[in-house]
Amino acid sequence: MSKQEVILSEDLAGSLKQAIDRCPHDRLFILTDEHTSRLCMPRLREIGCLSDMNEIVIGAGDIHKTLDTLASVWKRLSDSGATRHSLLLNLGGGMITDLGGFAAATFKRGFPYINIPTTLLAMVDASVGGKTGINFNGLKNEIGVFAPASAVLIDTCFLRSLDRRNLVSGYAEMLKHGLISTESHWAELLRFDTEQVDYDGLRELVGRSVQVKEDIVGQDPFEHGIRKALNLGHTVGHAFESLALEKNRPVLHGYAVAWGMVCELYLSHIMTGFPAGKMRQTVQFIKENYSAFYLDCKQYETLYGLMLHDKKNTAGIINFTLLEDIGRICINRTAGKETIFEMFDFYRECMGL
């Protein structure tokens, strides 16, 4: 898999022109959703090199990350004369970069695309690393391919228009990056005030967070080994997301990951010796910033069944990424059903349910 260029930009117009110039194209398309079209597109319309772009607008939110939406994007590309020499810009959050990247990677067997993430979640996670895809059959990111963007242009000025829920959603992935990297980075993330946001400080944290992900992806592009470290919190988190979609009360991805980290840090504590004090500090931060997903014991079997469908599993055995300590990663760890149900008990108890 080719290495993508990630640029923390202070001049979006200049960075975008350079990125587009490196991708000669016959037609230029830009994919947005209803929110980013209204809030973010006005800024891009002022950029001269985008004067001939074709905008494709889809519905906002993870409920639109579907095969039907993907087909509608393919149809728009086809009807507008897209070829293997076209170029797609994905302007938006993780749903846009995931679905748009998949559309570009598969239409006419693939043409280049550039990600311009507008949410914190997309900046530090979804837009970086080459994973694309859609939800399918009630399961999160069930269909997709590895197909890196030609470039990822990160302009943190977009974050100033982000509401707090979406800000802390992305921050959960940053907290994960802290847990799998260094104790100093983890500690500074716990100190950051998500209520009174210091945007200059946040920009620095975003840069460090992206570097953590880039370093890991560079070592293992196709997730055969150490890249699985990035799945901390996601085995349970994706199950929470799928259960929420099933009940027609969708939750933001970062919230689900945060709740998943509560569960998987508990497993880390009892199975690999992750320090209780660091677990408590992290869980307290999550409890203060992410409320809780309501869960009762009647839903344990459903969640367990959803976890059995996780892409990281082998032969029906649920795989977890756990920690011995901050930055000391244990991949491909398994737990029995009884232990997993005890993990759910811990989640309900510490989250006050």
d(CA 288, CA 352): 12
Q: CA 157, 13, 91, 10: dihedral to nearest 10 degrees? A: -30
Measured distance CA(323)–CA(238) in Å, rounded? 19
CB 166 within 8 A of CB 119: yes
- Find out whether 289 and 168 touch, Cβ atoms under 8 Å: yes
* AA identity, residue 18: Q
What contacts 259, CB < 8 A, 6 or more positions away? 236, 237, 240, 286, 290, 292, 293, 347, 351
Q: Which of 22, 18, 42 is nearest to 30 (CA)?
A: 42
Closest to 271 in 3D by CA, of 198, 338, 199: 338
Neighbour count for residue 216 (Cβ, 10 Å): 22
Catalytic residues: 109, 131, 173, 213, 223, 227, 231, 234, 238, 253
In one-letter notation, the amino acid at residue 133 is G
How many angstroms separate the Cα of 224 from the Cα of each of 68, 187, 274, 283, 340? Answer: 30, 29, 24, 29, 24
| Residues 90 and 116: beta-carbon distance below 8 Å | yes
